[in-house]
Amino acid sequence: MSLLEVRDVTRRFGGLTAVDAVSFDVHEGMIKAIIGPNGAGKTTLFNVLTSFDRPEEGTVRYDGVDITSWRAHHIVRRGIARTFQNTELFEEMSALENVMAGAHAVTRSGFLAAALRLPWTVREQREVAEESGRLLRLVGLGEWADAPAADMPHGLRRLLEIARALATKPRLLLLDEPAAGLNIAETSALAEALYRIRDRGSTIVVVEHDMGLVMEVSDEIVVLDRGCKIAEGPPRLIQKDPAVIAAYLGEEEADEL
Amino acid sequence: MHRNVDIKVAVLLGLIGASVFSVPLLTADRYMLRVLTFVGVNVIIVAGMALLFGYAGQVSLGHAAFYGIGAYASAHVVTVFGWPWVAGVAIAIVLTAAGGLLLALPSLRLRGHYLAMATLAFGEIMRVAFVEGKGVTGGPDGLSGIPFPSFLGIEVDSAGGNYWLVWSAAAAVLLIASNLVRSRAGRAMLALHGSEAGAMSCGMDLTGLKVRVFVISAAFAGLAGSLYAHVVGFISPSTFSLHVSVLLVAMAVLGGTRSLAGPVLAAVILTMIPFADAVIPGLSRSAVETIQEWQEDVYGLTIIAVMLFVPGGIAGALRRIAAKGSVR
Ligand SMILES: Nc1ncnc2c1ncn2[C@@H]1O[C@H](COP(=O)(O)OP(=O)(O)O)[C@@H](O)[C@H]1O
Ligand SMILES: [Mg+2]
């Protein structure tokens, strides 16, 4: 059984069909890439999968359960985490606090327990701080723990968002263009981080424009063009797929394929 | 290093607590004690405003209404039903918490200016209700003869007793608030303020979060209202008008975000301005009357001056001082 089953998902904005009857599966333990030209509907698809947005048609099943109409925070708590194409960090909070915020999904001290500062909430808090420190080191940001997110360089901010997403203990991690704006060294560090994350037990779906990275890390690729899925398969086959090459013609990425 | 800072903060808080506590032992000046008691009442409300505005980033221009609901509810059940004062406090807290819930639910879809407008409208509606609901509120003339707070039949009727009562409540409220901001809940409030999408991606229930903060801040204002009514013995609609809501927002803004100490200091300063003669000996009566006449302008100018010259309000200034201290 696949971890994620996307079936005939359609999302329209007025006359524009941003995602058009898209179906695919994600199996546990793989790294799956979603690629496509700008405006292909990749981010919209992520928004639908995480209930940041609602589809007009279609269903999303996760771990055998229909989650299409679930609210976003329930989906995160069930095990699907995400990052954003335009980072959505908590700028005034430190890197460590940002990651600790991610642990919200997997901790339980509520307002009443916190108001009374019950001992178990203090313990929970300490454990969260320790685990968050580990996650920062996992993505290579150990040195930045006390820096406000706003003060961090662009490339590191993307890694911070990944660490925050990992703090929710996701079984499925959705990354929206994690390599955007990264230099070559940072991109290869990212690839290493992705393998480590997968090996810790998270399945990954990554939207990415950096074809070098996509071809290197992904087990399978879904190609979207103007909302429609035009191809799906392992990287070797996708590189040769005539429909894919046609979609990218005129795009800057064509020569990279 | 963190431990050291914690100890310093604990010592500082202990000193502040001890000096606040000892005021009635050092002076019998009823006017001064009354003014400082009133400062304590405003500290209770501003603690809620700090959570709502400074941490969660939500604006309310209607908090004087909760203050009023607490005051009238408590005064009514004690004077008319003859309930004990403690029950009056409980009713005040429960009713204002419920009011906070009722206001929060429809307002949740609103942000920024629209949320401000909705809370403003709520404040106005309640002000009219205080004026028109003569049966309960005594109308424009207000309610007088509200008995002093009492425990087990013992009336707290001295100026010092009232001072201690209000400041004990303020200490309890500040403890709750500081526990909250240092917890998972506090981090969620800051996250909500920082990025709603980011907060959602952390599994935070934004609706639940906003409702809770609204309810807590309303309940704090309700508690303050009950204390005010019984300490002063007289309440009327003008005490709970838009003017007061704006003053509360001014305290929160002047105090700065992500801080309790900042807004508390702001509450102390802004509450004392019109009664400066209570603590500054030798300030002439006419000087005070001039200040009171220009009160609104003084508030306005203070806020503008802070925004221009002290970025981040009092909290920002405190953080800069703390940063300098730790470098040294
Ligand atoms: N909220 C929205 N309202 C209207 N149109 C939108 C909205 N979000 C995305 N779109 C449109 O949907 C299409 C797909 O966008 P997007 O999913 O961001 O593409 P991608 O992430 O593949 O670059 C684009 O044409 C975009 O302009
Ligand atoms: Mg996109």
Task: Please write the tens of the pLDDT for every residue from B105-117.
Answer: 877 777 777 888 8
Ligand 1 pocket, residue A36 CB under 6 Å: yes
CA distance B246 to A96: 36
CA distance B296 to B310: 20
CA distance B84 to B90: 10
Distance, CA A245 to ligand 2 centroid (Å)? 20
Q: Nearest-CA distance from A132 to chain B in Å?
A: 13
A79 in contact with B, Cβ within 8 Å: no
Structural domain spans, chain B: 29-241
CA distance B107 to B102: 9
Long-range contact pairs involving B120-123 (C-beta distance under 8 Å, separation at least 24): B120/B61, B120/B62, B120/B242, B120/B245, B121/B62, B122/B62, B122/B65, B123/B61, B123/B62, B123/B63, B123/B64, B123/B65, B123/B242, B123/B245
> With contacts defined as CB-CB under 8 Å, which chain B residues touch A77?
203
Q: Could you tell me the CA-to-CA distances from B268 to B9, B240, B276 in Å, in that order?
A: 20, 19, 11
Q: Could you tell me the CA-to-CA distances from B99 to B62, B70, B79 in Å, in that order?
A: 11, 10, 22
State which residue of chain B sits closest to A117, comparing Cα positions. Answer: B179
CA distance B38 to B163: 8
- What is the Cα A207 distance to its own chain's centre? 8
Interface test with B, best of A43, A88, A171 (most B CBs within 10 A): A88
Which residue CA neighbors atom 3 of ligand 1 most closely?
A: A13
Q: Token match 């086959």: residue?
A: A237
What one-letter code names the amino acid at B135?
G
User: Crossing angle of helices B242-255/B30-49, nearest 10°?
Assistant: 70
CB contact under 8 A, B203 and A71: no
Measured at the alpha carbon of residue B186, what is the angle toward residues B182 and B192, in degrees to the nearest 5?
A: 150
Ligand 1 pocket, residue A38 CB under 6 Å: yes
Q: Nearest-CA distance from A8 to chain B in Å?
A: 24
Look at residue A109 and give its three-state secondary structure: coil
DSSP letter for each residue of A46-102: HHHHTTSS--SEEEEEETTEE-TTS-HHHHHHHTEEE--SS----TTSBHHHHHHHH
State which residue of chain A sits closest to B173, comparing Cα positions. Answer: A115
Q: In this complex, which of A50, A125, A167 lies closest to B184 when CB atoms are compared? A: A125
Nearest ligand 1 atom to the CA of A42 is 22
CA distance A69 to A164: 25
Contact between B182 and B9 under an 8 Å Cβ cutoff? The reply is no
Ligand 1 pocket, residue A43 CB under 6 Å: yes
> With contacts defined as CB-CB under 8 Å, which chain A residues touch B205?
71, 73
CATH architecture of A1-79+170-257: 3-Layer(aba) Sandwich (3.40)
CB contact under 8 A, B191 and A115: no
Task: Please write the tens of the pLDDT for every residue from A128-141.
Answer: 999 999 999 999 99
A158 in contact with B, Cβ within 8 Å: no
| Residues in contact with A60: Cβ distance below 8 Å, sequence separation at least 6, in sequence order | A4, A5, A6, A7, A9, A48, A49, A66, A67, A68
CB contact under 8 A, A73 and B183: no
Q: Could you tell me the CA-to-CA distances from B135 to A251, B91, B147, B192 in Å, in that order?
A: 75, 18, 19, 42
Q: Nearest-CA distance from A188 to chain B in Å?
A: 26
B258 in contact with A, Cβ within 8 Å: yes
Q: Among the bound ligands, name the one nearest to the CA of residue A12.
A: 1
Structural domain spans, chain A: 1-79+170-257, 92-169
DSSP letter for each residue of A20-42: EEEEEEE-TT-EEEEE-STTSSH
Q: Please tell me what DSSP assigns to residue A117.
A: T
CA distance A239 to A215: 9
Sheet containing A4-13: order of strands: A16-26, A4-13, A57-62, A65-66
CB contact under 8 A, A73 and B203: yes
3-state secondary structure chain B: CHHHHHHHHHHHHHHHHHHHHHHHHHCCCHHHHHHHHHHHHHHHHHHHHHHHHHHCCCCCCCHHHHHHHHHHHHHHHHHCCCCCHHHHHHHHHHHHHHHHHHHHHHHCCCCHHHHHHHHHHHHHHHHHHHHHCHHHHCHHHCEECCCCCEECCEECCCHHHHHHHHHHHHHHHHHHHHHHHCCHHHHHHHHHHHCHHHHHHCCCCHHHHHHHHHHHHHHHHHHHHHHHHHHHCEECHHHHCHHHHHHHHHHHHHHCCCCCHHHHHHHHHHHHHHHHHHCCCCCCHHHHHHHHHCHHHHHHHHHHHHHHHCCCHHHHHHHHHHHHHHHC
Contact between A36 and A24 under an 8 Å Cβ cutoff? The reply is no
The whole-number pLDDT of residue B328 equals: 44
Q: Among the bound ligands, name the one nearest to the CA of residue A34.
A: 1
State which residues of chain A have pLDDT below 50. 253-254, 257
The whole-number pLDDT of residue B3 equals: 64
The whole-number pLDDT of residue B109 equals: 75
Contacts across the A-B interface (CB distance below 8 Å):
105
Structure tokens at B171: 């200490």
Distance, CA A208 to ligand 2 centroid (Å)? 9
**CA-wise closest residue to B56 among B108, B9, B122, B21:** B108
> With contacts defined as CB-CB under 8 Å, which chain B residues touch A103?
184, 202
Q: Please tell me what DSSP assigns to residue A216.
A: H
Sequential pLDDT tens for chain B (328 residues): 456 777 888 898 999 999 889 888 888 888 889 999 999 999 999 999 999 999 999 989 999 999 999 999 999 999 999 999 999 999 999 999 999 999 888 777 777 778 888 899 999 999 999 999 888 888 898 998 899 988 877 888 888 999 999 999 999 999 999 999 999 999 999 999 999 999 999 999 999 999 999 999 999 999 999 999 999 999 999 999 888 998 998 899 899 999 999 999 999 998 988 887 777 777 777 888 887 888 778 777 877 887 788 878 889 888 888 777 665 4
Ligand 1 pocket, residue A18 CB under 6 Å: yes
Q: Token match 């998972």: residue?
A: B184
The whole-number pLDDT of residue A251 equals: 58
How much is the ipTM here? 0.93
Structure tokens at A134: 């580990």
